[in-house]
Amino acid sequence: MKSLRSLLAVVLISLTTVAVAQMDAQKSVAQSDAEKSFDKLKTLAGTWQGPITVDPAREDVKPGTLGQITMRVTSRGNALVHEMQEAGTPLDATKYDHPVTMFYLDSDRLTLVHYCDAGNRPRMAGNLSPDGKKVEFDFVDLSGGNEYGHMYHAVFTFVDANHHIEDWTYMMPGDKPMHAHMDLQRAN
């Protein structure tokens, strides 16, 4: 009887090992579009700097203003943190803009939540372009107030390992879009 239990335990462990190996093999073969998009974004981990242009022009963003973007993978690879600020300014959120954006997979959808200096949190869903050179995010919904407007759209364009472009569209009150363009080079 003891040998039968031992044999049964060995068979169950073997079957479990085979099942887990098959699941891992299926995951690597059948990666979803959302997973591909997220993996592509995670290659941007690091610090980036480059000029910011805003259309329509604003007094608080002078021509030649340098933006600094810091991106890091966190939560055992399950989230990507994106921090935006003007280059050379201290990390003092009481005096300077410092929005934070989180990227993560939500089931079969790549999701972005932008923690905005306007006090709200727009959520967007992203898709990788067929050529794999862009991840584009479209507005889904908004948490928090909309008195000052909200972030509405974002596009990440991959030029090469040390160069990418970010285009962000902010919807001002009255549904007037404001576009920010950042041409970023890897700083580290």
- How confident is the model at residue 2, as a pLDDT? 63
pLDDT tens for each residue of 137-154: 999 999 999 999 999 999
C-alpha to C-alpha distance for 149 and 152, rounded to whole angstroms:
9
Q: Would residue 146 be called left, alpha or beta, if left means φ above 0 and alpha means ψ between -120 and 50 degrees?
A: alpha
pLDDT band for position 97 (cuts 50, 70, 90): confident
- How confident is the model at residue 16, as a pLDDT? 54
Name the β-bridge partners of 67.
50, 86
CATH assignment at residue 154: 2.40.128.20
**150 DSSP 8-state letter:** E
Q: Are residues 63 and 13 in the same domain?
A: no
Name the β-bridge partners of 18.
none
pLDDT tens for each residue of 104-118: 999 999 999 999 999
- Contact, 162 vs 186, CB < 8 A? yes
Report the half-sphere exposure of 143 (CA within 13 A, side-chain side): 8
Which residue would you say has higher pLDDT here, 30 or 175? Answer: 175
Q: Are residues 2 and 84 in the same domain?
A: no
Number of domains in the chain: 2
**162 DSSP 8-state letter:** T
Mean pLDDT calculated for residue range 39-51: 97
Q: Are residues 14 and 47 in the same domain?
A: no
Q: Which residue has the tokens 């690597």?
A: 28
Full domain range(s) for residue 21: 1-30
pLDDT band for position 162 (cuts 50, 70, 90): very high
Q: Are residues 26 and 36 in the same domain?
A: no
Q: What tokens were used for 105?
A: 């997979």
